[in-house]
Amino acid sequence: MELTFLGTGAGRPSRQRNVTSMALTLPPPRCSAWLFDCGEATQHQLMRTPIKMSRIEAVFITHLHGDHVNGLPGLLSSRSYHPGAGPLRLFGPAGIKAYLEAVFSATYSHLDYELIVTELAEGVIYEDDDYSVEAYPLQHRVPCWGYRVTEKDRPGALDAEKARSLGVPFGPLLGQLKNGRDVRLPDGRFVRSTDVTAPDRKGRIISILGDTVPCGTIARLAADADLLVHEATFQGDMAEKAAAYGHSTTLQAAEAARMAGAKRLYMTHFSSRYREEDMDRLVAEARTLFPEAYAGSDLLSVAVTRPGEQPDGSCWA
C-alpha cells in the first residue's frame, strides 16, 4: 500500500507545489488506485507517476473549494480515452453531482464509463471484502469531510508443512484452514486453524483529512492510524490567522496526531509563502510535539507497511 502526493500546496499552484490531490495505491493483486481530492492539473501530475488512469476505481473529494476539485471534470473526461477504464465511484459533499452535471452540460462532455456518485453522510460510505471507508465532517469555511480507510484483517500464512505433519491431506481442507476455519480429518481428528496458521495480519489504517481547524471529529478519523494526512497551512505561531481562514498550523496537526495515537503524520496543504528551504523548520516545529511528523511534497510516495513486514510488491513495474 502506497500513498503518492500529487499536490501539496494551498489555494493556488506554485512552481514548487501543485494544489491538493493524492493517490492511494492498493496492494497486489488488486493493484487499483483511489484518488483523494483533484485540484487543477491533477491529471498532469498523474502522468509523472506510474499510476494508470484506467486503474483509478474511486475518487474521494473532501470539499468543493476549487483547489480541491477544479481538476475533476478534466480527469473524468480524459479517463474515457484510456482502454480498460471500468466504472468509477465518486464520493463527495452535497453539490458535487450538480457541479459535474453543470460542467459536463456546458462543455458537451460525455463519459464512456459508468460514474457512480455518492453524496456524503456520516459513517461508513463504502465497504468491500478488503476495505471499508468512513467519512466524518470537519470544520472549515464550507462543508468539508475527512476519510478513514481501514484495511480488513487478513488470515495469517498457512504452515503447510505443519499441516501435513498433522495428517491434513492436500485439497479443500488446507484451503479451509488457510481461511481461518477449523476442520475434521477423515480419521475423525480435529485440527484448528490456529494450530497451523500464523496470527492474523492486522489491517492498515490511513486517515486523510480535508481543510479544517482543530475539531472533535479528527480524533475519530485518525485514531490509531498508521498514516495520518493533515493540512498544515501555516506555521505554529499563526494559529489566529489559520483559524480566520478555516485552517490548521503545523503544531495543531502534530497535536492531533499525538492525541489520536497515529503512527506517522504527513503534513500537506502548505501556504505558498513557504518554500522548500522552509520545510525543515516546519517539520522540526511539528516534531516538538510528534516525533514522527513529515512534510509531504509533490510526487513523494510513502509506503504504508504492517509492523515487521516489507512493502507490498509493485503494481506498476
For CA atoms 157, 162, 163, 164, the dihedral sign is positive
* Residue 115 CA neighbour count, 13 Å, CB half: 22
The answer to the question of whether 68 is labelled as a binding residue is yes
- Determine phi and psi for 181, rounding to 5 degrees: -105, 135
The answer to the question of whether 159 is labelled as a binding residue is no
24 vs 27: CA distance, rounded Å: 10
Annotated catalytic residue 226: no
The answer to the question of whether 110 is labelled as a binding residue is no
Name every residue whose Cβ is closer than 8 Å to that of residue 98 and which is 6 or more positions away in sequence: none
Of 92, 55, 86, 50, nearest to 73 (Cα)? 92
In terms of phi and psi (left: phi > 0; alpha: psi -120 to 50; beta: otherwise), the region of 269 is left
DSSP 86-99: --EEEEESTTHHHH
Query: Which of 37, 67, 226, 298 is an active site residue?
Result: 67
Residue type, 261: G
The answer to the question of whether 82 is labelled as a binding residue is no
The answer to the question of whether 230 is labelled as a binding residue is no
The answer to the question of whether 67 is labelled as a binding residue is yes
| C-beta separation of 193 from 182 below 8 A | yes
The answer to the question of whether 224 is labelled as a binding residue is no
How far does the chain reach from its first CA to its final CA, in angstroms? 14
For CA atoms 123, 127, 129, 131, the dihedral sign is negative
Q: Count CB neighbours of 108 within 10 A.
A: 6
C-alpha cell at 314: 509493485
What residue numbers does the annotated binding site cover? 63, 65, 67-68, 140, 211, 269
What residue numbers does the annotated binding site for Zn(2+) cover? 63, 65, 67-68, 140, 211, 269
List active site positions.
Answer: 67
